[in-house]
Structure 1
Amino acid sequence: MTESIDRVLVVGGGTAGWLSAAILARSFNSHLPGAVKVTLVESPDIPILGVGEGTWPTIRATLKKIGVDESEFMKECDATFKQGSEFVNWMATDDYTTHRYFHPLSAVFHSAYDFSLAPYWLSGSANDLPYDIAVASQTAICKMGLAPKKITTPAYEAIQNYSYHLNANKFAAFLTRHCVEKLGVEHLVANVTDVELDEAGFIRAVNTDNHTIESISADFFVDCTGGRSILLGGALGVPWKKIDDVIFNDTALAMQVPYQTSDAPIATHTIATAHDAGWTWDIGLSNRRGVGYVYSSQHTTDEKAEETLRRYVGESADQLEARKIKLNLGYRTQFWKSNCLALGMSAAFIEPLEASAIFLIDAGATMLAAQFPRTKNEIAFVEKQYNKTFSLRWNKTLDFIKLHYCITNRRDTEFWVDNCREETIPDSLKEKLSFWKKHPPGKYEFDNAFEPFVLDSYLFVLYGMNFETDIKSIKAVYDRHAEARKRFEEVTKLTQFLSRELPKQRELVEKVYQYGFPAI
């Protein structure tokens, strides 16, 4: 057990495999003699799922760390800027008008951890502005179709916080080239046919159908084989726990929608529109929109779901193909076992609301790299730490996604009725919601460094969906009304300033593709 760990094999490509390989190889300096070596083997026969087109702002730091040029990445991957999500019709209205709210990526102008504006907004100090407009400039910036920065802003720096919308297939191909050419990753192409274990139950090697590389041995393995989970689920027998009693959306239809004109505006946020049995995503890339419908097969038929999607897209959908994707919602009861760690859909999968998939891959590979065991006798400790951390991250993600469904007032279909049933809501979320009926959410409910969704995110969703918090009994606690009003005014002034300074999304994207950002 004291033997050193010098070779890592990532099994599976796509975003999960290649992003993991990039993070590990860069952290290990795999291109240097004597460093831990990273190899990736991927099947030539299994297509990339290719619909994970949304990211979190953390991806900027990761791309910068692995040495990616932001402008080159954006151009190669049809990428645009994402500043948040707009939620449409997730609430019913008395007059049947469209209900909308935003979850922007920028935290409130003054973070809620330092001085929460929520109780003062609840007290009426924001002149009846919606919460997302009152506390952050980014909602208005999104509504105006403005970008989060200028062409003169250095690469990866931001005026308003941002991530990206991207073409997932092109992103995987881009990372492949970058890993092989610049980070020292060895790339093999073969189908894994079986997995060899040693006497202690550790993986020794994988066998393939490629006669030139029939067996690939390594000291540590990263399972990125998607829902098949050949290593962690198959060879090591780690069970899969379903979550379909909490999250119902188990099927997606995806469509690539061309712009009607070459100068059509590009949305600077994901648009998530609720329907009878699920919701549609609408993501603007540089050359097309990625549109899809995520729905519950228990609450509608595939035929009705496709009608819903085509109706949302409009007449242009008549000539377009809708690709059906079955979603296996759940997670492994362990994310790491012995000398194998699973990332991506091999480890866990929740529906794409709030685009957590790539973030969890990024976070998982980053934690593995930071605590990477160099001998086998170090594995047990790091395995325990990792499983503890990612169990927390997963459960917190599950709570936050469910929040969007269980606080709605929609009761127009069985889908929405079922989503609000008490028995479908995790106890951890029910406890918080009960407390928040009399207390605005505060930093002590978000005290873990590995919270995937922070206080500000909860506030945007709760008060975007008109969650009722009665603060009468604790109103005297909040006595900084003058300061709060000043900060609300600062948000308004910043919004006015940025509306004059920031370019339109398409204008900036086209300049980035042509000229690039200045280097830092």
Structure 2
Amino acid sequence: MADKQNIKRIVIVGGGTAGWLAACHLAKKLEPFKDSTISITLVDSPDIPTIGVGEGTVPVMKDTLRYFGISEAEFVQKCDVSFKQSIKFVDWEVAPNKGQSSFYHHIFDFPKLTPVDVTPYWLLDKTLGQTHFADLVSVQSHACALGVGPKRPNDKEYTGIFNYAYHLDAGKFTQLLSQHAIENLGVKNVKANVVDVHTNKQNFISHLTTDLPSTLTADIFVDCTGFKALLIEQALGGEFLSKKEVLLTDTAFAIQVPYDHPEQTIPPFTISTAQENGWIWDIGLQSRRGVGYVFSSKHQSDDDALQTLSDYLKRPLTYSDVRKIKMKVGYQKRAWVNNCVAMGLSQGFVEPLEATGLLMFDVTARVFANMLPAHTENMALSAKRFNQDICQMWESTCDFIKLHYYLSKRDDSEFWKDNRNSASLSDELKEKLEVWKYKIPSQFDFRYTIDSFRLDNFLYVLYGMNFPTNLSHEASKYTDVDKLNKLKYEIDQGVLFCKKHLQPHRTLLEHICRHGMAKG
């Protein structure tokens, strides 16, 4: 950038969920309504449909919506929202045997570690170890089994008995974010197609030309153009780091499935069912299910993949019934280059096993909004720090997703055998797994506060999949049966509370849609 100046003008290119999340985060931080010299403009094409990736979220989204000032009741009513308390992983540990499936829950409540940490007892006691790990450290997995919502009808917005996230209609969610950004946060919207990206001698973006007569100039540009990465890669030559040798799934078939009848039960969790060459998500919204098959094109043809999804849904499918999504798995080596920052799919993407799409879109947008300097003089330093943090976030996310595959004992296909090859693990994950062979993970094993998945997430996956931490060398330390029985009693009392005070999930959603929620 030739001249040092205050950063006042921001142009976001691309109007999908990522673009409008970025717009809301930037507007919330910079407050253009209060400062007329601040300008945040989002330009999106009226001709290009968005991918609409992601119908599942993690609990961070609850905090984000509250921060934006969006009513939770309005969100539930307008975006076909249901509550998500867990991911139920079916057949991930072992392949189904004679029609018998196995499962575990990755719930959202923190593990209950008082009055005693049940983890070592669970590992040492074969009888206790036959119980699902999540069932011993939280009431939430029991609530999922009961099919109840995470809050009572009179609970205030963004509060509940359990921690929770959402399932949502991505298209309707984008509409809600755009309306809120424009009407309440002061974001300007231009409907146009970007024709060319112009750079100066220092390789900074100077302006954009569109199919409208006017041009778009800014101090900083945000690339939300999806996998094509129009600004960060095509204009500025950014480098994309592929993770396809680590995360093997690269294609998805998605379909919207109507309910069999209007009162059909809505599970308060995502269902992820492993297949021979990938896995199927099954998400219940208020009005329909969102179902998709994520698979490796190296291990399975499109025809066979379509048949896998057909078998799951127990109905014949043709290619016209599904939407095919080719996934560009990896991330930008530098998400912030000069005066351009990539967000959303332009920045990176890994498969949506743990709702990673919307999570990364949301978190990285908030990080950027808070690291954006007031003056161009500090832009290079801010970019350096941002890129270091975002690379770490992507690497740790890849490790966490890889963990699910590597811990599996499935050997019913080359896909699973390839995933279980230790050569595909990062050094960081290898070292952690080696340490955890003889030690339960602790908070001190996670060095970076910016990582999206930390101790509790790893505990649920490691011991949901029966990772064999050997504690025989310190078994004598874990003999406090009274405290263990007290914990079991507290869990049992919590289950009784759920049965008495929490409504079936669909009933709760219908109540909110009719009557709203109490304001916080």
Task: Give TM-score, length-normalised by structure 2.
Answer: 0.95
| Aligned counterpart, 1:106 | 109
Tell me how far apart the structure 1 counterparts of residues 149 and 320 of structure 2 sit (CA, whole Å): 29
Q: Work out whether 1:273 is the aligned partner of 2:273.
A: yes
Tell me how far apart the structure 2 counterparts of residues 296 and 128 of structure 1 sit (CA, whole Å): 33
Q: Residue 237 and residue 115 in structure 1: after superposition, are their counterparts in 2 closer, same or farther (change >3 A)?
A: farther
Of 131, 137, 152, 1:150 maps to: 152
Tell me how far apart the structure 1 counterparts of residues 488 and 399 of structure 2 sit (CA, whole Å): 30
Q: Residue 318 and residue 347 in structure 1: after superposition, are their counterparts in 2 closer, same or farther (change >3 A)?
A: closer
Q: Secondary structure at the match of 2:122?
A: helix
Q: Secondary structure at the match of 1:324?
A: strand
| Aligned counterpart, 1:286 | 286
Tell me how far apart the structure 2 counterparts of residues 396 and 115 of structure 1 sit (CA, whole Å): 29
Q: Does the 8 Å CA contact 1:109/1:491 hold for their aligned counterparts? A: no
Q: Work out whether 1:502 is the aligned partner of 2:502.
A: yes
Give 1:232 deviation, angstroms. 1.1
| Aligned counterpart, 1:517 | 517
| Aligned counterpart, 1:36 | 38
Q: Residue 255 and residue 486 in structure 1: after superposition, are their counterparts in 2 closer, same or farther (change >3 A)?
A: same
Deviation per residue, 1:237-285 (Å, 9 max, x gap): 1111111111111100000000011111111100000001000000000
| Aligned counterpart, 2:298 | 298
Tell me how far apart the structure 2 counterparts of residues 516 and 40 of structure 1 sit (CA, whole Å): 31
Number of equivalenced pairs: 516
Which amino acid is 2:188 matched to? E
Q: Does the 8 Å CA contact 1:257/1:320 hold for their aligned counterparts? A: no
Tell me how far apart the structure 2 counterparts of residues 365 and 51 of structure 1 sit (CA, whole Å): 16
The aligned runs of 1:287-326 (5 Å cut-off) are: 287-315=287-315, 321-326=321-326
The aligned runs of 1:196-235 (5 Å cut-off) are: 196-211=198-213, 213=214, 215-235=215-235
Q: Does the 8 Å CA contact 1:134/1:492 hold for their aligned counterparts? A: no
Q: Secondary structure at the match of 1:418?
A: helix
Q: Does the 8 Å CA contact 2:12/2:42 hold for their aligned counterparts? A: yes
Q: Secondary structure at the match of 1:303?
A: helix
Q: Secondary structure at the match of 1:268?
A: coil
Q: Does the 8 Å CA contact 2:53/2:357 hold for their aligned counterparts? A: no
Q: Work out whether 1:405 is the aligned partner of 2:405.
A: yes
Tell me how far apart the structure 2 counterparts of residues 489 and 392 of structure 1 sit (CA, whole Å): 41
Q: Work out whether 1:420 is the aligned partner of 2:420.
A: yes
Q: Residue 207 and residue 95 in structure 1: after superposition, are their counterparts in 2 closer, same or farther (change >3 A)?
A: closer
Deviation per residue, 1:366-395 (Å, 9 max, x gap): 112222211111112211211111111111
The aligned runs of 1:59-208 (5 Å cut-off) are: 59-92=61-94, 96=98, 97-110=100-113, 116-124=117-125, 126=128, 128-208=130-210
| Aligned counterpart, 1:343 | 343
Tell me how far apart the structure 1 counterparts of residues 201 and 53 of structure 2 sit (CA, whole Å): 40
**Percent sequence identity over matched residues?**
39
Which amino acid is 2:456 matched to? D
Which amino acid is 1:490 matched to? E
Q: Residue 248 and residue 319 in structure 1: after superposition, are their counterparts in 2 closer, same or farther (change >3 A)?
A: closer
Give 1:320 deviation, angstroms. 7.7
Give 1:45 deviation, angstroms. 1.7
Q: Secondary structure at the match of 1:27?
A: helix
Of 48, 53, 58, 2:55 maps to: 53
Q: Residue 371 and residue 267 in structure 1: after superposition, are their counterparts in 2 closer, same or farther (change >3 A)?
A: same
Which amino acid is 2:489 matched to? E
Q: Residue 319 and residue 333 in structure 1: after superposition, are their counterparts in 2 closer, same or farther (change >3 A)?
A: closer
Tell me how far apart the structure 2 counterparts of residues 319 and 313 of structure 1 sit (CA, whole Å): 15
Q: Residue 320 and residue 107 in structure 1: after superposition, are their counterparts in 2 closer, same or farther (change >3 A)?
A: farther
Structure 2 residue runs of 5 or longer lacking an equivalent are: none
Q: Does the 8 Å CA contact 2:42/2:188 hold for their aligned counterparts? A: yes
Structure 1 residue runs of 5 or longer lacking an equivalent are: none
Give 1:150 deviation, angstroms. 1.2
Which amino acid is 2:118 matched to? L
| Aligned counterpart, 2:25 | 23
Q: Does the 8 Å CA contact 2:253/2:293 hold for their aligned counterparts? A: yes
Q: Does the 8 Å CA contact 2:371/2:386 hold for their aligned counterparts? A: no
Which amino acid is 1:237 matched to? G
| Aligned counterpart, 1:241 | 241
Which amino acid is 1:465 matched to? M
Q: Secondary structure at the match of 1:315?
A: coil
Q: Which range moved further: 419-428 or 181-190?
A: 419-428
The aligned runs of 1:436-475 (5 Å cut-off) are: 436-475=436-475
Deviation per residue, 1:340-368 (Å, 9 max, x gap): 11111101110110001111111111112
Q: Secondary structure at the match of 2:365?
A: helix
Tell me how far apart the structure 1 counterparts of residues 37 and 143 of structure 2 sit (CA, whole Å): 46
Tell me how far apart the structure 2 counterparts of residues 354 and 507 of structure 1 sit (CA, whole Å): 26
Tell me how far apart the structure 2 counterparts of residues 12 and 383 of structure 1 sit (CA, whole Å): 21
Tell me how far apart the structure 2 counterparts of residues 507 and 448 of structure 1 sit (CA, whole Å): 41
Give 1:117 deviation, angstroms. 3.1
| Aligned counterpart, 1:6 | 8
Q: Does the 8 Å CA contact 1:240/1:330 hold for their aligned counterparts? A: yes
Task: Give TM-score, length-normalised by structure 1.
Answer: 0.95
Q: Secondary structure at the match of 2:255?
A: strand
| Aligned counterpart, 2:363 | 363
Q: Does the 8 Å CA contact 2:116/2:483 hold for their aligned counterparts? A: no
Give 1:477 deviation, angstroms. 5.0
